[in-house]
């Protein structure tokens, strides 16, 4: 919306008084015979004129600041979105309007009977609403599944049944990216409905870009969109509408000790190698794939199974979170099977779609779209009579960043990639965080909004980018903005785990600041690692005290 006069009741009283005195002084100078110090002129006419003049001055000040990038950067709240948009358009920058989150919802029903949901059958969870992408029809037999919107009803195993639909959030918000197994309530009647929950993590949800975030990103709009330098590489990615959820980009190239993809008979850096580390969303997404596992032996009293994950299954994934039999319906109470062995590899076979980067080992391919894996796990419920070579279907939940394969294909395309080199896209190396602290309040104080604090902390940390350091002071200031004046916070215990390319972990712990170490051999540095904080990994303890907390 355009800039409008401010609400007259919210004007600064000192500014109104100064305007009042100025008007009275100028009238006295113009007409000395008029009594401008008291009476109707002074108390009523001059007062209301001062109010209007103060409002117009504030209007003019906001309009002036909305046309200055420096002023907007100093105080983004003073500028109106429409004016900032017009200013930014001069530099080819467009504000992100946000995007909805999408995913799959499991609907559990009490009987094996046909069911259906339409786009008007919405679901809600954690303040967000989700609607089916289209009308879906649940069928009782596979023979009836003939259209793209037909869904087969399957047994849960406890006398209930389920089917799965595709859904999207009705609002654009990062909070709509709910986690796997999050419970959803149906906002309208569905025949035989029992419960609903997210089958896997919802992803793609992003917020409307604030003036503050927009101005920070403005450099990417001003920059050329090519691979000539770090600013233009970031612009090339972020200004592509297909990659609008990408938060942070860090490029490792010639002269960076983290760049190890130099393959020569001489131990020297030859250049022409770019590793582009991507944070495509605030939190990694847990994605479900169904794979055929092969029994390869016996271990720990059960069967030792193995599955192969190709580079296209879940490109650049970090780790496997859970494994369950494909016939088992996943739920929060289902613990699943753990990973016995995770062997990473790589696949650089040409697929005809783009140029293949120079990769010679699994370390270089780690967290890239060329990464592969052999996953082995133990299933204690394996039938004793099964012999090696037997197969079974398992659902595997892999955690990682989205869009890696799409960005790789884009940057490796003939029209984009450097003519004399190659580009390898990688997910930012994760430093997963856990926080814990105590809030002290009086017993008579109102309840602390723990959920709001957790979300604010996660949002603050996940937008730090490739910063290399997390200070407790940043967290403290975020927490205090949600507390009353007499409430305090203890020291914050920060615990981080960096997952290296060989899947070993480097642990960090501090009450003051976490600093990313320099481990160039494993490509670990402030340029490659990002802090990742989920609200679920924040422990808040409330302690009541009737003594003074000042």
- The stretch 502-527 carries a mean pLDDT of 95
pLDDT value, residue 353: 66
DSSP 42: I
* Inter-CA distances, 519 with 316, 515, 526, Å: 21, 12, 10
Report which of 511, 202, 269 is spatially closest to residue 261, judged by C-alpha positions.
269
Burial string for 124-157 (b: 16+ CB within 10 Å, else e) reads ebeebebbbeeebbbbbeeeebeeeeebebeeee
Of the candidates 326, 264, 344, 237, the residue with the CA atom closest to the CA atom of residue 289: 326
Q: Could you list the beta-strand ranges (E) of 331-472.
A: 339-346, 371-379, 391-400, 422-427, 429-441, 469-471
Q: Which of 33-47, 101-115, 351-365 has the lowest mean pLDDT?
A: 33-47
| Same domain as 398, residue 294 | yes
Statement to judge: residues 289 and 272 lie in one domain: no
182, 218: one domain: no
- Name which residue leads in pLDDT, 421 or 467: 467
* Residue 49 is assigned to a structural domain of this protein: yes
Domain boundary among 55, 89, 123: 89
CATH number for 343: 2.40.30
Is 461 in the same domain as 506? yes
Query: Which has the minimum average pLDDT: 4-13, 99-108, 430-439, 537-546?
Result: 4-13
Mean model confidence pLDDT for the chain: 88
Rounded to 10 deg, the angle between the 404-412 and 230-238 helix axes is 120
What six digits make up the tokens of 23?
């008007």
The helix-helix angle for 46-66 and 81-89 (nearest 10°) equals: 30
In a shared domain, residues 389 and 434: no
DSSP three-state, residue 544: strand
Question: Residues 6 or more apart from 277 whose CB is under 8 A from it?
Answer: 249, 250, 251, 252, 426, 427, 428, 429, 466, 527, 528
Q: Which of 185, 390, 382 is nearest to 302 (CA)?
A: 382
Paired strand residues for 426: 277
- Asked whether residue 333 falls in the same domain as residue 364, the answer is yes
Do 231 and 302 share a domain, yes or no?
Answer: no
Segment of 53-67, 239-253, 412-426, 468-482 carrying the highest mean pLDDT: 468-482
Question: Is residue 107 situated within a structural domain?
Answer: yes
Average pLDDT over residues 185-198: 91
Q: Which of 133, 166, 198 is the last residue of a domain?
A: 198
Pairing of strands 102-109, 193-198: antiparallel
Q: Which two tokens stand for residue 224?
A: 């050329």
User: 81 in a domain, yes or no?
Assistant: yes
Q: Are residues 108 and 45 in the same domain?
A: no
Domain that holds residue 265: 211-276
Residue 1 lies in a domain: no
| pLDDT tens column, 136-158 | 999 999 999 999 999 999 998 88
How confident is the model over 334-355, as a mean pLDDT? 86
Tell me the DSSP string of 304-372.
EEEEEE-TTTSTT--EEEEEEETTSPP-TT---B-EEEEEEEE-----SSSPPP---SHHHHTTSTTEE
- Residues 140, 241, single domain; the answer is no
Average of pLDDT values for 504-532? Answer: 96
Q: Which residues contact 294 (CB under 8 A, 6 or more apart)?
A: 305, 306, 307, 389, 390, 391
pLDDT of 184 higher than 90: yes
Residue 34, pLDDT score: 74
With respect to residue 96, please indicate whether it lies within any of the assigned structural domains.
Answer: no
Mean local confidence (pLDDT), 386-415: 93
Mean pLDDT calculated for residue range 365-375:
97
Three-state DSSP class for 120?
Answer: coil
Each residue's pLDDT tens digit, 451-475: 999 999 999 999 999 999 999 999 9
Quote the CA–CA distance of 283 and 167 in Å, as a whole number: 20
Give me the residues paired with residue 304 across strands: 297, 378
Say if strands 273-279 and 422-427 run parallel, antiparallel, or are unpaired: parallel
Residue 549 confidence (pLDDT)? 45
Confidence band for 1, pLDDT divided at 50, 70 and 90: very low
Return the closest-CA partner of residue 450 out of 437, 433, 467, 460. Answer: 437
Flag whether 423 is in a domain: no
- Return the half-sphere exposure (C-beta side, CA atoms, 13 A cut-off) of residue 62: 19
* Within a domain: 206: no
Model pLDDT, residue 71:
74
Of all residues in the chain, what percent carry a pLDDT higher than 70?
Answer: 95
SS3 315: coil
**Does some domain include residue 59?**
yes
Domain boundary (176, 198, 220) is at 198
Give the confidence band of 10 by pLDDT, cuts at 50, 70, 90: confident
Residue-wise pLDDT tens digits, 75-122: 766 677 777 887 777 777 788 888 899 999 999 999 999 999 999 999
Say how many domains are in the chain.
Answer: 5
Strand, coil or helix: 44: helix
User: Both 265 and 296 in a single domain?
Assistant: no
Say what the pLDDT of residue 78 is.
Answer: 65
Report d(CA 82, CA 77) in Å as an integer: 13
Instruction: Evaluate whether 445 touches 548 at the Cβ level (below 8 Å).
Output: no
CB 496 within 8 A of CB 436: no
Residue 281 has pLDDT above 50, yes or no: yes
Helices (H) and strands (E) in the chain, counts: 11, 27
For 102-238, list the strands marked E by DSSP.
102-109, 115-117, 123-125, 128-132, 136-139, 150-152, 154-155, 161-169, 183-186, 193-198
Q: Are 95 and 132 in contact (CB under 8 A)?
A: no
Mean pLDDT check: name the lowest of 195-209, 322-336, 395-409, 415-429.
Answer: 322-336
In this prediction, residue 367 has a pLDDT band, given cuts at 50, 70 and 90, of: very high
Mean pLDDT across 381-409: 93
DSSP string of 235-253, one letter each residue: HHHHTSGGGTT--EEEEE-
**Do residues 236 and 339 share a domain?**
no
For residues 222 and 167, membership in a common domain is answered with: no
pLDDT at 172 over 70: yes
**Exposure of 201 in the CB half-sphere (CA atoms within 13 A):** 22
Residue 245, phi then psi, degrees to nearest 5: -85, -5
Question: How many Å apart are CA 130 and CA 325, to the nearest integer?
Answer: 28
| Residue 196, SS3 per DSSP | strand
The radius of gyration of the chain from alpha carbons, rounded to an integer in Å, stands at 29
């Amino acid at each position: 919306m355009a800039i409008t006069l401010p609400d007259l009741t919210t004007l600064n009283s000192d500014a109104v008084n100064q305007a009042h005195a100025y008007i009275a002084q100028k009238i006295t100078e113009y007409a000395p015979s008029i009594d401008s110090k008291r009476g109707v002129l002074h108390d009523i006419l001059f007062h209301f004129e001062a109010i209007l003049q103060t409002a117009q001055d504030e209007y003019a000040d906001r309009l002036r600041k909305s046309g200055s990038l420096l002023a907007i950067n100093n105080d983004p709240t003073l500028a109106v979105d429409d004016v900032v948009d017009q200013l930014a358009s001069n530099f080819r920058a467009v504000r992100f309007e946000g995007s909805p989150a999408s995913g799959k919802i499991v609907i559990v029903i009490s009987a094996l009977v046909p069911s259906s949901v339409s786009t008007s059958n919405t679901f809600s969870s954690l303040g967000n609403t989700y609607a089916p992408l289209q009308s879906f029809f649940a069928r009782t037999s596979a023979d009836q599944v003939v259209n793209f919107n037909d869904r087969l009803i399957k047994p849960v195993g406890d006398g209930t049944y389920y089917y799965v639909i595709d859904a999207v959030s009705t609002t654009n918000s990062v909070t709509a990216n709910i986690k796997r197994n999050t419970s959803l309530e149906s906002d309208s009647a569905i025949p035989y409905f029992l419960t609903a929950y997210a089958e896997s993590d919802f992803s793609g949800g992003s917020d409307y870009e604030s003036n503050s975030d927009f101005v920070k990103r403005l450099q990417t709009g001003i920059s050329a969109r090519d691979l000539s330098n770090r600013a233009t590489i970031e612009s090339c990615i972020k200004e592509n509408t297909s990659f609008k959820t990408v938060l942070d980009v860090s490029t490792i190239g010639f002269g960076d000790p983290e760049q190890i993809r130099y393959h020569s008979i001489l131990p020297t850096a030859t250049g022409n190698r770019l590793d582009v580390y991507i944070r495509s969303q605030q939190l990694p997404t847990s994605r479900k794939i169904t794979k055929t596992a092969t029994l390869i032996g016996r271990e720990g009293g059960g069967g030792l199974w193995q599955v192969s994950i190709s580079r296209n299954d879940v490109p650049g994934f970090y780790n496997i979170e859970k494994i369950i039999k494909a016939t088992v319906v996943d739920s929060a109470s289902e613990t699943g099977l753990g990973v016995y062995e995770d062997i990473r590899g790589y696949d650089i076979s040409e697929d005809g779609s783009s140029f293949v980067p120079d990769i010679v080992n699994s370390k270089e391919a780690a967290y890239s779209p060329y990464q592969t894996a052999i996953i082995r796990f133990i299933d204690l419920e394996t039938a004793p009579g099964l012999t090696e070579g037997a197969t079974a279907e398992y659902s595997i939940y892999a955690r990682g960043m989205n869009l890696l394969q799409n960005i790789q294909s884009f940057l490796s395309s003939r029209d984009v990639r450097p003519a004399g080199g190659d580009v390898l896209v990688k997910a930012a190396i994760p430093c997963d965080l856990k926080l814990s602290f105590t809030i002290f309040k009086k017993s008579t104080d109102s309840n602390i909004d723990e959920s709001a604090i957790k979300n604010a902390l996660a949002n603050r940390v996940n937008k730090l980018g490739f910063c290399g350091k997390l200070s407790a002071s940043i967290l403290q200031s975020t927490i205090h903005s949600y507390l009353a004046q007499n409430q305090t916070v203890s020291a914050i215990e920060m615990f981080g785990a960096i997952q290296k390319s060989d899947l070993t972990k480097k642990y960090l712990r501090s009450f003051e600041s976490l600093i990313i170490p320099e481990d160039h051999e494993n490509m670990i540095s402030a340029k490659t690692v990002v802090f990742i904080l989920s609200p679920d990994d924040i422990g808040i303890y409330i302690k009541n005290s009737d003594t003074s907390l000042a």
